[in-house]
Each structure stands twice: as C-alpha cells, then as structure tokens.
Amino acid sequence: MKTFRNILALVALLVLVPALPAQAGGLWNKVDIQVISDDRGKLREYPVDSHGRKQRSYIAVRDGERYRIRVRNRSGHRIGLVIAVDGRNIITGEKSWLGRREAKYVLGPWETAEYEGWRTSRSRVNRFYFTDIDDSYADAWGDHSAMGVIAVAVYREKDREHYGYKKKRDGMIARSEAARGPSAGTGFGESEWSPTRKVRFEPRKKPAFRKFIKYEWRRTLCRRGIIRHCGHHHDDDYNRFWDDDEDDGFAPPPWRLRHR
C-alpha cells in the first residue's frame, strides 16, 4: 500500500517577512527528488548539469505510464515544495514560476512523500500519466510554454509561520529515510483519495535550490543524443523551463559531436 504523509501549504500573498541569512551548506545534497513509474519503479536520470541552486536531468518515459514524484527530506528541518508539471502548479493548476507565494507541499524532517497527481480538492487528486501533448492537462489550458518538464523548487522555512494545509494520515505513517507524438506531456488521470488539513509554514524569499527533470519518449532522447549510440541530435522548440542553449560556451562530449 502506498500511502504517504503529504503536506500542503498555501502561502498568503500579502505577508512580507525579512529573509534570514543563508545557512552554511545547501539543501541540494539533503533533498532527493525522483520520478517513480507505477510499473518500472525509479526512472533512470541522464544528468545535464548541476551547479549551485539548479539541477537538470532527462528521463525516458512510456506512453500511458502512471507516475509519482518522490521527494525525500534528509535534513532535520521542514521544507516547502513548489512542484510544477508542464509549467502548471500541481496543486492549483495555475501557471507556475516556482515562486515562494505559490501553493506548495510541506515535507517534515527525515520524511519521504510521493505526489501522484493534480490536486482537485483537499481530499482528492487526479493521477499523473505520460501522454501526447494534445492529451495533456497543460494543453487544456492552452499552455505549451514548459511542456515535458517536472520542476521542483525547495524552500527553507522562516522562523515566522503562516497557515497552510497538510495531508492527513490515511493508514500508514509517512516513510523516513523508496503510436505516439514527437513530444510528451502529462495527462489528468483517474481520481484518488488524498485528504489534507491545515498546518503552519512560511517560506524564505528564494528557493534553496531547483530541480528540473525533462521527460521525453526514448526515441526522442536517442534522436537528440541524450541516450548514447541510438540516434541523431534534434532541437526542440523553446521551453521556458528548459533552455537547451544554457550549456553553450563549454566543451560538448564527443558522442554529441558525432551526431552534428
């Protein structure tokens, strides 16, 4: 049974609190973010880069595959998570910029949680599944500006707190310290039980770090040279959460040069 203690916080728009000094060390090595397939388990990542407050990687996905976003907090502090899929906040469905004032989940110290769908109420979500763009939830909004990207911004907590929402227990205690189109999107799947309750949380001004996972059909990653020895490089359209030109100015690996 996969029931986890998820925490949801909605941050007030008009509350301004001075930011605290940054702590020594970062959360980037204390918070693990993974994509979990219902059928295949943890999906292998193909890292692009990882520097400071930003991490990027690719994953290869299958049409119709249900998935969850697993976050493991290995720090001794609560954290706030703004999660966007295809550029839409998974709690409100609104266009996301990973901002501190957006609706967010809150994860307790040493806890692991899985976020498996679009939240439709305090007690239910609709499942994530990989699909063609024209069947995606973002397409229903007419928004293709960040298709195929799972984005998570991790926020530290301020001393001052504000009200939000927290998922209620439902069986198990939260775990601590487990013929397709050319591009992929995430659909609005079946409804599942996922109750919440109010909690207190106030994020700091800027995220401790952000992670971006670009998911594509395997054949697309092969064609672009992300998966070695199986395809040719192909440029995608501009994506505001995934700028393929960010690596310009650095020596590319030789296996990419062979496909130019």
Within a 10 A sphere around the Cβ of 50, how many other Cβ atoms? 12
Q: Is the overall model pTM greater than 0.75, yes or no? A: no
Residue 218, SS3 per DSSP: helix
| Of 50-54, 99-103, 174-178, 184-188, minimum mean pLDDT range | 174-178
Task: Say which amino acid occupies 26.
Answer: G
Q: Which of 228, 230, 225, 214 is nearest to 260 (CA)?
A: 225
Distance CA 149, CA 97 (A): 12
pLDDT mean over 214-224: 88
CB of 167 within 8 A of CB of 201? no
Which phi and psi angles does 7 have, rounded to 5°?
-125, 135
Return the closest-CA partner of residue 211 out of 95, 102, 70: 70
Alpha carbon 223 to chain centroid distance?
A: 24
Residue 153 burial by CB count (10 A; 0-12/13-18/19+): exposed, middle or buried? buried
Among 76-85, 114-123, 139-148, 234-243, whose mean pLDDT is lowest?
Answer: 234-243
Return d(Cα 135, Cα 229) in angstroms, integer.
31
In this model, does residue 31 exceed pLDDT 90?
A: yes
pLDDT greater than 50 at residue 106: yes
Residue 102's alpha-carbon distances to 20, 26, 171, 198, 225, in angstroms, are 20, 22, 29, 16, 35
pLDDT at 102: 94
Give residue-wise pLDDT tens across range 185-196. 999 988 888 777
Please state the rounded mean pLDDT for residues 9-37: 56
Report d(CA 223, CA 60) in Å as an integer.
12
Sign of the alpha-carbon torsion through 239, 240, 244, 245: positive
**Cβ neighbours around 223 below 10 Å, total:** 18
Compute the Cα dihedral for 44, 49, 51, 56 and give only its sign.
Answer: negative
Cα–Cα distance measured from residue 247 to residue 8, given in angstroms and rounded to the nearest whole number: 35
How far is Cα of residue 8 from the mean position of the Cα atoms in its chain? 15
